[in-house]
Structure 1
């Protein structure tokens, strides 16, 4: 059964908690009983999260209630046994790990998972990750990352779901459900940690850890909705972000942590700092020293200190001096203990030490990962070179052709590259296909052109050439921001050398972000783009190249033509002078032209105003035609639901899957509104020649936004809508809200 997805669909989900009301009442009684027995030092210990030092001594003396980056089941059990059997109160440990896009079996990085527009599949992937990680003793993951990212220079764009609040909300809620399962007490569950709360993706200049400038309305309308959706989906924990908002670091921000998270959203889970983010409040100039940072953080609502040692070093003194009421510490400890009870750690603290070997890389896990890799692939160009149906002699070249480690992408701590199938390996397994392999470059940053002549000569002998390009894993992710987004090293030169062979050239790019590839499009007949696809990425690529599978992925983020266009995102506000399409570009300006000769609209003289590829874009081996969109009537009340329909037809020669997207524009508001906003999407598979009516049910409530007075409401007026295959196409229609 097909299902359409939207933010309101997420908010309407049932079963938002991990336990029923009766079970929660029992847990609360157990928490209060245990809390009453705890000394102040034991309480503080529960708020200390570490991964280094004499862990056994810290646990034995009750100075740490949670550990992370311990993934050996035998060591997990040894430390857990100390906590349960040797500490005074026997409170079990909580073990955490960055399980970002899989544990052993790696799925595409989150940006690649977003390209599937398939939340059910993303949920299945998170379930696989939970099963594998929990088998190693991990019960808490610092994922999903729900930061809206409009700047591909920011390396951590790899870890999120792109630039759109609706897509990020749906995917984030899917990850929460997948990690946590139907019941946190199940030993295969992971407590999700939604991060980074909030606004981290707006780092100025795309430079990691940088300051942000987010107006209150923009924070509410764009950056917070995915977090609210994940809270509604039952997320067990929240992580504060490194950045400040309007001068206040998130780790010490009571407006974020108390007023919004606790009071507005009624979040009853646990809040953890990011790594040393308490200490970094000193560098921000918001706290005088670590003691002051600890005071501000605990009073703001940050409950667990990750690797700052601010609470363990100063919280007792702050309580004894009266600067921090012990009741504040008690509230924080309540949330920690409640999570441990919800996870069933008091009843089942230990892990089967042989389970990890039996679950890792299970055939069904690999099959799900491959399906995700297949659906994540985005066909950006195809002048008939794909699929390779008539090719018998294929030249494979490029630094990513046989780079298992790099194919896995960022945050792949626990994966064994020996299990990763590269494209070269997979293509060599294709029956009837003879593969010649000339690496061309040793790695993505390699600047040597020594093998280029060899590549050109080999290309002349082949029927076609596939050039595997992109980024090494280390070039994206945390602390890996870039100012130049061209293919690194001599990769563009390698592509040109392959083109000089005179045969069809297919470029396959595997990267952690959108790269500025406009200059490379002329040197290839087809281009397939994957955000680092993980363990089974090579198998998926081989199936896509040979036509055994059909691409259906869509861009979850705008692809700019040049880094100078950034930030560039589809759901921007209009200007008083928007570009209209007839602007004169740099090389067209006549000599001695008057001052206004290029026109007075919002665009760049050297790159125009349009992106290279818009949000939601992706081709197929077939073609799709959209009928005019329509809704069931012209006017709606605030409590009603808009029914939008559109006929989709497969007009090509093979079956294919299209991601049908619904966009809406509020034509007039109390504040300027975006030119388009994604409100729903559906994956639709059609046979050649088949047509189907696609229906979206859009509650009018989903048109609400935080307006001039910062109150969230639906404002009456005219709205324009599109049903299309990307954010830049489609025939508009209108409706009215009274």
Structure 2
């Protein structure tokens, strides 16, 4: 007992000391920022708010290398504070990044105040713009793990390898809340649930920034894209959204609030518009809600050209200069201009003529300088490569493999066709079966990810992973189909080879893409792939459908002819190894869908749908038939295993609670099968009657556990009052008296709020 008291006392003293040190550090930084700000001219301040793409400074005769005069002009004449993006031709080595950042740092140190440049990059699934880096699954796959600790560890590795590249700032996590599965950035999100998204967002922010964002192994996170970006009415990128404020507050804002509470240092603003107002022009959204109501103290940066687009696309500004005024007064701190210095010249003019007050400039520059001090850029902005011996190491690669293995989701397994037997001859076919592009997707080495086969040549495609496990002589291969073009000869070649195989592994999906190049008008898989699937199905041989896709492309034309369905999402460089290990049972699958997989293009209900989204004519009064018209291909949370899990003994500590009490929930989960496995235990809550029409069910908690055969664990959750609340018509969070239902697995329990 004495030792225990001593341990508690030591912990308390350490906690107080750490808290005091953190507070003192913050006060010290604020003093440094104030002192530096007092020395700056208008031009130097506006320069800090200017972000330019790195390729503008390159020597035309020597792509990837700086023209010294251009770099000097940008940093010394225009005083730019930030640079982004990747030198040509893409994916520099660590040494080239070091050389690039050294040149930038050297030029910055020649300026009057020697303010370092803040360099940012879209390293969204690892240090994805550095040759040899460890690439993780894209965010949608991370969401499917339902394992925040695994996601946090991946972010720590991503931060380590990004800092090794001398880059201190990543444009991640993506906290978009997509409402249309056709959206081309669906895979950059955490799916359709706000609670899951908030937990995964916190995991990424915590992993990136660590306990000390100024560490040489941490980076500043940038939440994006604030706000409503994934809710376009058309499903196309950068198109308008119509979202009532009540809905924004109940869902979208909760995700950002969680990441802000986790300490996220910056936020990127949505390129879209909500209810007719571009977000970049919205003082209500940026200043009143984000900065004041949510108390966000970090840097607000635009997306690519989005101030200019207020004039050229949105048509809410009369000129580029007017667009600058509107955006800065809305609360923008930094403009990703990014290809000229018009923002700088326009904003200097606006300040000097009194159209933008100095107080707004000082607020923006204070935020930018604070982040630079927090990142320790004034001490050193170039990495010493000797400090990063684990870059691209076997340890890091194993973590990426683990993430991929826990993300891959088994959706269907008729007659236990999986796992496969290593004695069987397998046909691997389909357009996504032999390319790294379809494993990594966009933002991989290059913007659209088109060069992954070059930069990740030493990694395994799905075909190569099969060959590595079984030997080439036991793996038949035919491409079978192109992603877009129809080729009957290729289909017939695959069919003929399939006749000699025991089973078929059919790899279908999408091209690599992001943003507008990924826009589609048809959610079905391409006709060339559907024809291949139907042709192979006529052979009456077992088919395992493997999907590599960033969004749920419709497969209802042939899904009933597939014996197994495996969703890989975009699993990264180690994804093929993980997939093949799962298909052969060396790894037990444990991923769960982070979205509803729709069956039809006009049936896109979310899992937390309203009751009126699921009724058929004449069935309004029959609760048992509410499900009839709700028929997704696979529902949110679907995820099979090679073992079985049994839920029992669901308990809640109180059947009635007051408005100040919590609800403690427990459930026993048993592995009733014969194979060790991992299970994501999901707790759903239903408010049975409410003044705002309630949702069918809503995810409120989850925990991933590991169980050996015949092992049982008790999983405990606590629900608080906020979990019972919704946003009412007055935009207030309220909980109304009534009955609530808790559901875990196939078990349900009710309690009442008095």
* Corresponding residue number in structure 2 for 1:7: none
Deviation at 1:673, TM superposition (A): 2.3
After superposition, the C-alpha distances for 1:432-469 in whole angstroms (9 at most, x for unaligned) are 78533322336422311212233222222222111111
Is 1:736 the equivalent of 2:738?
A: no
* Corresponding residue number in structure 1 for 2:659: 638
After superposition, the C-alpha distances for 1:505-535 in whole angstroms (9 at most, x for unaligned) are 1111111111111222223211111111111
Mapping of residues 498-513 of structure 1, within 5 Å: 498-513=536-551
Is 1:569 the equivalent of 2:598?
A: no
Is 1:656 the equivalent of 2:677?
A: yes
Deviation at 1:489, TM superposition (A): 4.3
Pair 477,467 (structure 1): closer, same or farther in 2 beyond 3 Å: farther
Is 1:541 the equivalent of 2:573?
A: no
Is 1:268 the equivalent of 2:297?
A: yes
* Corresponding residue number in structure 2 for 1:592: none
Tell me which moved more, 67-76 or 410-419: 410-419
Tell me which moved more, 373-382 or 293-302: 293-302
Unaligned runs of 5+ in 1: 1-12, 584-595, 725-729
* Corresponding residue number in structure 1 for 2:701: 680
| More relative contact order, 1 or 2 (CA 8 Å, 6+ apart) | 1
Q: Is the 8 A contact 1:399 1:468 kept in 2?
A: yes
Selected match of 1:187 from 216, 220, 238: 216
Pair 294,619 (structure 1): closer, same or farther in 2 beyond 3 Å: same
After superposition, the C-alpha distances for 1:661-687 in whole angstroms (9 at most, x for unaligned) are 111112223322222111000112222
After superposition, the C-alpha distances for 1:108-134 in whole angstroms (9 at most, x for unaligned) are 111111000111111111111111111
Is 1:30 the equivalent of 2:67?
A: no
Q: Secondary structure at the residue paired with 1:150?
A: coil
**Distance of 2:646 and 2:27 partners within structure 1:** 55
* Corresponding residue number in structure 2 for 1:520: 558
Is 1:485 the equivalent of 2:519?
A: no
Q: Is the 8 A contact 1:392 1:433 kept in 2?
A: no
Selected match of 2:242 from 210, 213, 220: 213
Mapping of residues 419-568 of structure 1, within 5 Å: 419-431=458-470, 434-441=473-480, 443-474=482-513, 476-566=514-604, 568=605
* Corresponding residue number in structure 2 for 1:59: 75
* Corresponding residue number in structure 2 for 1:323: 355
Q: Secondary structure at the residue paired with 2:460?
A: coil
Is 1:79 the equivalent of 2:104?
A: yes
* Corresponding residue number in structure 1 for 2:724: 703
Mapping of residues 239-388 of structure 1, within 5 Å: 239-282=268-311, 283-307=313-337, 309=341, 311-352=343-384, 358-383=389-414, 384-388=416-420
* Corresponding residue number in structure 2 for 1:204: 233
Q: Is the 8 A contact 1:719 1:736 kept in 2?
A: yes
Q: Secondary structure at the residue paired with 2:665?
A: strand
Q: Is the 8 A contact 1:208 1:478 kept in 2?
A: yes
**Distance of 1:531 and 1:120 partners within structure 2:** 20
After superposition, the C-alpha distances for 1:625-652 in whole angstroms (9 at most, x for unaligned) are 2226331111112232211122222232
**Distance of 1:427 and 1:30 partners within structure 2:** 57
**Distance of 2:573 and 2:20 partners within structure 1:** 31
Q: Is the 8 A contact 1:460 1:502 kept in 2?
A: no
* Corresponding residue number in structure 2 for 1:145: 174
After superposition, the C-alpha distances for 1:239-272 in whole angstroms (9 at most, x for unaligned) are 1111222332211212222222222222111110
Q: Superposition RMSD on alpha carbons, in Å?
A: 2.6
Deviation at 1:483, TM superposition (A): 2.4
After superposition, the C-alpha distances for 1:318-376 in whole angstroms (9 at most, x for unaligned) are 112211111210111000000000000001122225767x5442111110110011001
Q: Is the 8 A contact 1:80 1:350 kept in 2?
A: yes
Pair 280,701 (structure 1): closer, same or farther in 2 beyond 3 Å: same
**Distance of 1:479 and 1:677 partners within structure 2:** 33
After superposition, the C-alpha distances for 1:662-720 in whole angstroms (9 at most, x for unaligned) are 11112223322222111000112222233322211112232222212211233332211
TM-score, normalised by the number of residues in structure 1:
0.90
Pair 193,521 (structure 1): closer, same or farther in 2 beyond 3 Å: same
**Distance of 1:187 and 1:155 partners within structure 2:** 34
Q: Is the 8 A contact 2:401 2:578 kept in 1?
A: yes
* Corresponding residue number in structure 2 for 1:117: 146
* Corresponding residue number in structure 2 for 1:6: none
Pair 380,293 (structure 1): closer, same or farther in 2 beyond 3 Å: same
**Distance of 2:318 and 2:490 partners within structure 1:** 57
**Distance of 2:587 and 2:259 partners within structure 1:** 32
**Distance of 1:15 and 1:669 partners within structure 2:** 47
TM-score, normalised by the number of residues in structure 2:
0.88
* Corresponding residue number in structure 1 for 2:10: none
Q: Secondary structure at the residue paired with 1:450?
A: helix
Deviation at 1:317, TM superposition (A): 1.5
**Distance of 1:205 and 1:89 partners within structure 2:** 48
**Distance of 2:18 and 2:551 partners within structure 1:** 33
Selected match of 1:223 from 252, 260, 264: 252
**Distance of 1:210 and 1:370 partners within structure 2:** 36
* Corresponding residue number in structure 2 for 1:100: 124
Q: Is the 8 A contact 2:186 2:551 kept in 1?
A: yes
Q: Secondary structure at the residue paired with 1:719?
A: strand
Pair 438,326 (structure 1): closer, same or farther in 2 beyond 3 Å: same
Selected match of 2:265 from 215, 233, 236: 236
**Distance of 1:616 and 1:314 partners within structure 2:** 50
Unaligned runs of 5+ in 2: 1-14, 57-69, 87-91, 128-132, 447-451
Q: Secondary structure at the residue paired with 1:697?
A: strand
Pair 597,28 (structure 1): closer, same or farther in 2 beyond 3 Å: closer
